[in-house]
Amino acid sequence: MRSTQHTESPVATAAPGRHAPPATAAEPPPRREVWLAAWPVTAVFILSNTATPLYVLWQRRLGFSSGMLTVVFACYIVGLLAALLVAGVVSDRVGRKPVLLPALAMGIVASVLFATAGSIAALAIARLLSGVAVGAIVSAGMAAVADVAGPERRRLAALLASTAMVLGAGLGPLLAGVLSEALPGPTVTVFVVEIALLALAVLVVVRMPLPRPAGPRSGAWVRVPSVPRANRVHLLLGIAVFAPGITSTSFVLSLGPSLLADLLGTSNRVVAGATAFVMFTAATAVQFAVRRLKVAAILSAGAVSTVGAMASLALAVHLSATPLLALAAVLAGAGQGMGQLGGLTLISARVPAARLAEANAALNVGGYLPAGLLPVAVGYLSDAVGLSTGTTVFSAVVAAAALAGGAVVAARRRTTL
């Protein structure tokens, strides 16, 4: 009697005299699986900016300066950069889930600390942990979206990963602004909601269909993330536009509420949250609008948008004009969105899959380093010379960087892009 338990390939079991059916490639997962894979990125990025409209409450309660406020904000960047030194390499070697699940757990702990914060130290630790969670997510989470999408959907994966990031970054402050004004516990309720969102993300990661890691096992586990030598120019072109864009949005997030309160005469947390939401809604919408353009055109438009944002920001503080600040936020969001999409698209298309998470980490190191340092410097400069002068200096520096990035993209348009 033949055993029915042993199975073989169609070629091996074909009947004599008949041609075996050709082997077919595995079917790509449904598109809804790719969209669902982006949810953990959104959930963690909601946490990343949830505290933005609440800083004025903590500042009033705990009594710290604008300089100290930017230091608390920068703790997030420190945690993020520290995570980027290891998360990409570990994700490529061990797998996405062993990085994603601890990152989500850190996000939950950070939410608890925010909800119960009674000191500057507690806020700083919460920001640090949320930065670690985001650093892991931008490395492993974005690579996981590409893994689920498969090689035939690389542009879709880059678009979804990038828009998930900016959409979450915009939803966080909007939720915080609305819930803190409408419900009791203005610095508590939104973090209870965030814990629920992160728990849902854990369930998504657990069931996510991910392939085995293909990254090399040799070399240091903790290192500055990099890409293969042949892909360095692609990484640098992405950073050249992404870095000024995300630096401009970081300023709006860290000192935007202070600008609204001190210069424009409003301390409403819904307005502060809505400003950030509009900024990241623009970052999300513009990516869908330009997704079919060539990468060079996307990056060039991102640089131009960031320059426009900085011009509007400088005018807003000198004229005390709320509409100009709103315009600056929209243009800054568009600049970050296009720089981010262009950089991720280049990486996704050119970098080998075995180094993809590390490449994502490298792009974000290049972007978040100035995004962390410049707002802190401007915060302390503003304490010394005034918020208006500090903002003007910041605008000039970032605009110059964006112009330089756009010039580099234009110079390499025909040879590299």
Amino acid present at 203 = L
- Does any domain span residue 200? yes
**Percent of all residues in the chain with a pLDDT value above 70, rounded to a whole number:** 86
**pLDDT digits 0-9 by tens, 283-299:** 889 999 998 899 999 99
Instruction: Please give, one letter per residue, the 3-state secondary structure of 32-86.
Output: HHHHHHCHHHHHHHHHHHHCHHHHHHHHHHHCCCHHHHHHHHHHHHHHHHHHHCC
Which CATH number characterizes residue 263's domain? Answer: 1.20.1250.20
- Does any domain span residue 8? no
Question: Predicted confidence band at 399 (pLDDT cuts at 50, 70, 90)?
Answer: very high
Number of domains in the chain: 1
Placement of tokens 């208006």 in the chain: 388
Q: Which residue has the higher pLDDT, 89 or 125?
A: 125
Residue 7 has pLDDT above 50, yes or no: no
pLDDT at residue 199 in the model? 97
pLDDT at residue 261 in the model? 62
DSSP structural state of residue 4: S
Please give the Cα distance from 302 to 253 (Å, whole number). 19
Residue 58 has pLDDT above 70, yes or no: yes
Most confident of 182-191, 205-214, 252-261: 182-191
Q: Which residue has the higher pLDDT, 4 or 227?
A: 227
Please give the Cα distance from 36 to 41 (Å, whole number). 10
- Does any domain span residue 195? yes
Amino acid present at 276 = A
- Does any domain span residue 6? no
Whole domain around residue 316: which residue ranges?
Answer: 31-209+229-412
Please give the Cα distance from 179 to 405 (Å, whole number). 39
- Does any domain span residue 15? no
Residue 13 CB contacts under 8 Å (≥ 6 apart), including other chains = none
Residue 15 has pLDDT above 60, yes or no: no
pLDDT at residue 360 in the model? 84
pLDDT at residue 353 in the model? 78
pLDDT at residue 216 in the model? 61
If you average pLDDT over every residue of the chain, what do you get? 84
Residue 312 has pLDDT above 90, yes or no: yes
- Does any domain span residue 317? yes
**What does the pLDDT average to over 162-191?**
88
Residue 4 CB contacts under 8 Å (≥ 6 apart), including other chains = none
pTM listed for this prediction: 0.74
- Does any domain span residue 221? no
pLDDT at residue 235 in the model? 93
- Contact predicate 252/276, CB 8 Å: yes
Please provide the DSSP assignment of 296-355 as one string. HHHHHHHHHHHHHHHHHHHHHHHHT-HHHHHHHHHHHHHHHHHHHHHHHHHHHHHS-GGG
- Does any domain span residue 162? yes
pLDDT at residue 21 in the model? 43
**Percent of all residues in the chain with a pLDDT value above 90, rounded to a whole number:** 39
**pLDDT digits 0-9 by tens, 82-92:** 998 898 888 88
